[in-house]
Amino acid sequence: MSMRTLVAAVSLFGALCCASVLIYARSGTSDAYSSKHSATHKADAASSATPRIACGNGSTGVFYGIAGHLEHHGAYGTSDYDLQISQLRDLGVTMYAQDVSSERSAHMVADFARAAAKQCIGVLALVTPFEPEKRANEQETFERGYALGKTAGSVLKGLVTYYQVGNEYDNWSILGSDRSGEHPQDYDNAMFMKARGSILGLIKGIRETNPDAKILLTSFSWLHYGFTDMLYAGTQPDGSRGHPIPQWDITAWHWYSNMGSITAAGDKKVNVLERLRDSYGKPIWITEYGVRPTHADPGGYLIGKDALKGFVSLAKTYNIQNVTLYELYDDQRFGGDGNYGVIHDDGKTRKSRFNTVRDFIKANPMP
Residue 137 has what DSSP assignment? S
> Which residue in 287, 185, 179, 258 sits closest to 223, CA to CA?
179
At residue 346, what is the residue type? Answer: D
Cβ–Cβ under 8 Å, residues 301 and 292: no
| Cα dist from 130 to 65, 100, 182, 341, whole Å | 24, 10, 26, 24
b/e map 14-49, b = 16+ CB within 10 Å: eeebeebbeebeeebeeebbeeebeeebbebbeeee
Looking at residue 10, what is its pLDDT? 34
**Whole-structure pTM value:** 0.88
Instruction: State residue 42's pLDDT score.
Output: 47
Residue ranges of the chain with per-residue pLDDT less than 50: 1-43, 45-47
The answer to whether 266 touches 180, Cβ cutoff 8 Å, is yes
Residues 6+ apart with CB under 8 A from 36: none
d(CA 344, CA 14): 47
Sort 3 into a burial class: Cβ within 10 Å, 0-12 / 13-18 / 19+: exposed
Q: Given this model, what pLDDT does residue 48 score?
A: 67
Cβ atoms of 361 and 93 within 8 Å: the answer is: yes
Distance in angstroms (rounded) separating the CA atoms of residues 118 and 294:
37
Q: Of the candidates 44, 7, 113, which has an alpha carbon nearest to the alpha carbon of residue 280?
A: 44
- The partner residues of 66 in beta bridges, in order of sequence, read 96, 325
Q: What pLDDT, on a 0 to 100 scale, did the predictor assign at position 49?
A: 86
Q: Which domains does the chain have, with CATH numbers?
A: 37-363 (3.20.20.80)
Strand positions, DSSP E, 212-335: 214-221, 251-256, 284-290, 320-325
- Are 267 and 302 in contact by the 8 Å Cβ rule? The answer is no
